[in-house]
Amino acid sequence: MKILYHHRTASKDGQAVHIEEMIHALRELGHEVRVVAPAAADAAAAAPMGQDLGWVHKLRQRLPGAVYELLELAYTLVAYRRLAAAAREFQPDVIYERYNLFLLAGVMLKKRLGVPLLLEVNAPLVHERSKFGGLKLLPLARWAEGSAWRGADAVLPVTRVLARYVTAYRVPEDHIEVIPNGINEAHFAQAPSPEEAKARLGWPGALVLGFTGFVRDWHGVDKVVRWMATPAAPAHARLLIVGDGPARPDLEALARELGLGERVRFTGVIDRDAVPAHVAAFDIALQPAVVDYASPLKLFEYLALGKAVVAPRQPNLEEVLRDGDNALMFEPDRPGALEDALRRLCDDAGLRQRISERALASITRQRLTWQGNAQRVVTLAERLRARSRGAAGRRAA
């Protein structure tokens, strides 16, 4: 199958991981994939993890919000021309697009060519940007989001919770296929043993709590740092925060204020290939908070290495996690619930072991791999192609 893959992402972060892994998995299955992306995406692909397209963020900061949003919509025309040119040469069987707000190029090309469009949706961006970043042209943004979602032949949200945002735009249920994030098993197969990983960190024999990813204030890592300074935290417990983000300076200051010293360590941005070696050191993997529609990439990495996960009990996470089985879940609205879960896991090695074993088994049991996701996409694309050919045949008759 010939798949025309389109995205507007030009940063080296979790979005890039999803894009790279899906393209790789589709090609591993024997399909031909042509990628159409911003010109800066090639430079971003070669950049270190955590780097983004600096000039875009500067432009966003300097321009009035409404002007920037109109430029985003105008980029659709640029993207469409590039996508249409690629389609003329490539002659795709399907179009696969990663949704971004104000990006309608895939829908436009699908209408012109009659080629099925699969639209991957990772967040309800009107809701997200209204809440966290601000939107000046809200009616226009809602129109663009609804047009993209209704215009696709299949919408692929990463959680069932996110699917409810999609149906709110009157997208039929049978046009929605939930496909969560996943992992590349080969990427984690060479991870060192926990003992070796801890030795590399200079923490032999420690009980390691760990968090990976971009650290924001709302992630709740500050609660874990504070808990580390209480008598409930074992003396040999250590906290490893793998990554960077706007919350890091405050967290480092908090750790110093509490006198935690080397009991808390921040790695900063590390290369993606180094992530498994760090996660391997974790005894307890932390997901203290998450937005209600997300499919956190870190969660699948924790499961892939068989870590005892601590996470809030909320519907999007319960699509993958089961309390007492492959995770220990806590009530996010109850004060002290996260801290109680940490204490239980630190004090009960048997519980940690049972959850770790079930966490690792979850990957196979639930097919939480990029290869599995790619196969589901291909199966869906083939069904859409068959439906499209049947409709064309009926019109010809």
Closest CA to 178 of 394, 376, 17: 376
- Given a contact cutoff of 8 angstroms between Cβ atoms, the answer to whether 120 and 34 are in contact is no
Q: Which domains does the chain have, with CATH numbers?
A: 2-182+369-396 (3.40.50.2000), 185-365 (3.40.50.2000)
| Euclidean distance between CA atoms 100 and 148, whole angstroms | 9
Distance CA 278, CA 368 (A): 21
**Contact predicate 24/370, CB 8 Å:** yes
CA distances 60 to 65, 69, 134, 227, 343, Å, are 7, 9, 12, 38, 44
Rounded distance, CA 352 to CA 345, Å? 6
Q: What is the pLDDT along the chain (397 residues), one digit of tens a residue?
A: 999 999 999 776 778 999 999 999 999 999 999 999 997 555 444 445 445 555 566 777 778 889 999 999 999 999 999 999 999 999 999 999 999 999 999 999 999 999 999 999 999 999 999 987 789 999 999 999 999 999 999 999 999 999 999 999 999 999 999 999 999 999 999 899 999 999 999 999 999 999 999 998 889 999 999 999 999 999 999 999 999 999 999 999 999 999 999 999 999 999 989 999 999 999 999 999 999 999 999 999 999 999 999 999 999 999 999 999 999 999 999 999 999 999 999 999 999 999 999 999 999 999 999 999 999 999 999 999 998 776 655 555 5
Provide the β-strand partners of residue 243. Answer: 268
pTM comes to: 0.91
**Burial, 222: exposed, middle or buried (Cβ in 10 Å; 0-12, 13-18, 19+)?**
middle
From the list 48, 71, 47, the residue with the least C-alpha distance to 59 is 71
Strand intervals (E) in the chain: 2-6, 32-36, 94-98, 117-121, 154-157, 207-212, 237-242, 264-268, 284-286, 308-312, 328-330
Strand order in the sheet with 154-157: 32-36, 2-6, 94-98, 117-121, 154-157
| Cβ burial, residue 87 (10 Å; 0-12/13-18/19+) | buried
